[in-house]
Amino acid sequence: MSQLEIQPDSHGTDHGHDHDHPDHLGHHWENSKQQFEAGKLGMWLFLATEVLLFGGLFVAYSVWRGNHPEIFQYGSQFLDTFWGALNTGVLLVSSMTMAMAVTFAARGNRKGIVICLVLTLMGAAGFMVIKYIEYSHKFHEGFLPGFSFYEEPSASHLWLPLEQEHDQDVAHSTLETEAHNTAFAHETTARDEMPLPPPTAEPSVVPAAGTGPEGLTTNELALETAEFAVFLPPSVIGNLENQGPELDFAEHHEPGEEPHLPHPLQDPDRPPNAQKFFTIYFLMTGLHGIHVIIGGFVILWLLLLTLRGRFSRGYYTPVDLGGLYWHIVDVIWIFLFPLFYLI
């Protein structure tokens, strides 16, 4: 059969390279361009799946916010716009350096790629550091998703301890690393005691009684049908009325922090289910953070490949595709930032 001879021939005429089937070219491709375009289309389809993956969370956000705008208005006060805006800036700049790396790659400037990738990597790391600062702050304050929200925070500067507080010093010694772990411990406790209603839910009903927009407490909302009611012993319901909060509110706060916000658990104006805000906040920023970390590893991998001299003007597909991934991380954040920090 003559096909076997024809094949390399047709390749040779196709593009005038001396190496007609370079290493990076899969055996089923005609040429680099075809492979590159396929890779690119594949990446874009993957990005579309990423958008839809986050899309689900955006739907959850919209529905919750649509139903309970007061929770979101209340909760977003506890986020620091400064850190959010700074993180937006960090991501935007790192997106630019990533795009620059692609341009350098297209021009075959290896040194340029390396510098830009290192800068991008620093952006990724910087973003995560800022995220860490924000998250650990939230943990200390007890702004946790779900039921953990109703745990007394171990170390909050917003928290004004009650007289039965076991250890005032612990409560006041703010922002200590060890307190971080306590926050996690609280979360685990809450989880273990999950079946409804958890004992830890009691603090939640205290301040909420009769104050929410609809005058509903957390627990009442659940009682749509009698079936739900069986989860809730009458003793708990009886308590709802009687336990009014008798607290002084935090007058003093750490310098440089948002002023005069009472801690949610001590705030009579806290809307019911205020934990919802932090639930969706941690879900969305957490998923985004995971993507940033993955993106960081992708960039690191690209950096190693670049240093090994894998890329040339003729082949830099991974840089281009990795860049696209990094940009989608940016795109998601561009939506997350106003949704949580601003409005």
Partner 1 sequence: MSEHHDGHDSGGHAVSHKMLVITCIALLFLTGVTVWASKLDFNELQFPELNIIIAIGIAVVKVSIVGLIFMHLRWDRQFTAFVFVASFVLVGLFISFAMMDTKEYQPEVIQANSEQVQQMIDALPAAPKSEH
Partner 2 sequence: MTTLDTGQMQKPDLAPRDNYLTHTRGAWSWLFTLDHKRIGIMYLVCVLSAFFVAGIFALLVRTQLLTPEGTIMGQDDYNQAFTLHGAIMVFLVIIPSIPAALGNFVLPIMLGAKDVAFPRLNLFSFWLWVSGALFFVLALVSGGLDTGWTFYTPYSTDPNSAMGGMIPAVTGAFVLGFSSIFTGMNFIVTIHRLRPPGMTWFRMPLFLWGIYATAILQVMATPVLGITLALLAVERAFGIGIFNPELGGDPVLYQHFFWFYSHPAVYIMILPGMAIISDLIAVHSHRHIFGYKFIAYSSIAIALFSFLVWGHHMFTSGQSPLVNVIFSAITFSVAIPSAIKVFNWLATMYKGSISWNTPMLYAMGFIFIFTIGGLTGLHLGTLATDIHLHDTYFVVAHFHYVMMGSALIAMIGGLHHWWPKITGKMYNENWGRFAFALVFIGFNVTFFTQFMLGSQGMPRRYATYPADAGFQIYHVISSIGSYILAVGFFVTAGYLLQSMFGGRRAPANPWGGRSLEWQCSSPPPHDNFSETPTVGDCYDFSVLEWNEDEQGYVWRSDIPHPGEEEPGGH
- Restricted to residues 197-256, the positions that interact with partner 2 (CB under 8 A) are 198, 218-219, 221-222, 224, 228
- Rounded to whole angstroms, how far apart are CA atoms 204 and 246? 14
The smaller minimum CB distance to partner 1, of residues 52 and 129, is found at: 52
Spatial neighbors of 157 by CB under 8 A, at least 6 apart, are 141, 172, 174, 250, 253, 254, 257
Q: How many residues bind partner 2 (CB under 8 A)?
A: 55
> x/- string (CB under 8 A) for partner 2, residues 134-153?
-----------xxx------
List the one residue from 165, 214, 257, 269 that touches partner 1 (CB under 8 A): 214
Look up residue 323 and give its two tokens.
Answer: 């860049």
Stretch that binds partner 2, among 54-62, 91-99, 124-132, 159-167 (CB under 8 A): 54-62
List the one residue from 107, 191, 252, 260 that touches partner 1 (CB under 8 A): 107
- Restricted to residues 267-296, the positions that interact with partner 1 (CB under 8 A) are none
Look up residue 212 and give its two tokens.
Answer: 């929410």
The smaller minimum CB distance to partner 1, of residues 8 and 233, is found at: 233
- Restricted to residues 216-275, the positions that interact with partner 1 (CB under 8 A) are 216, 220-221, 223-224, 226, 229-234, 237
- Rounded to whole angstroms, how far apart are CA atoms 35 and 4? 22
Spatial neighbors of 273 by CB under 8 A, at least 6 apart, are 68, 71, 218, 221
Residues binding partner 2 (CB under 8 A):
1-4, 6-7, 26-28, 34, 37-39, 41-42, 45-46, 48-50, 52-57, 59-60, 63-64, 67-68, 71, 145-147, 187, 190-191, 194-196, 198, 218-219, 221-222, 224, 228, 272-273, 275-276, 279, 283
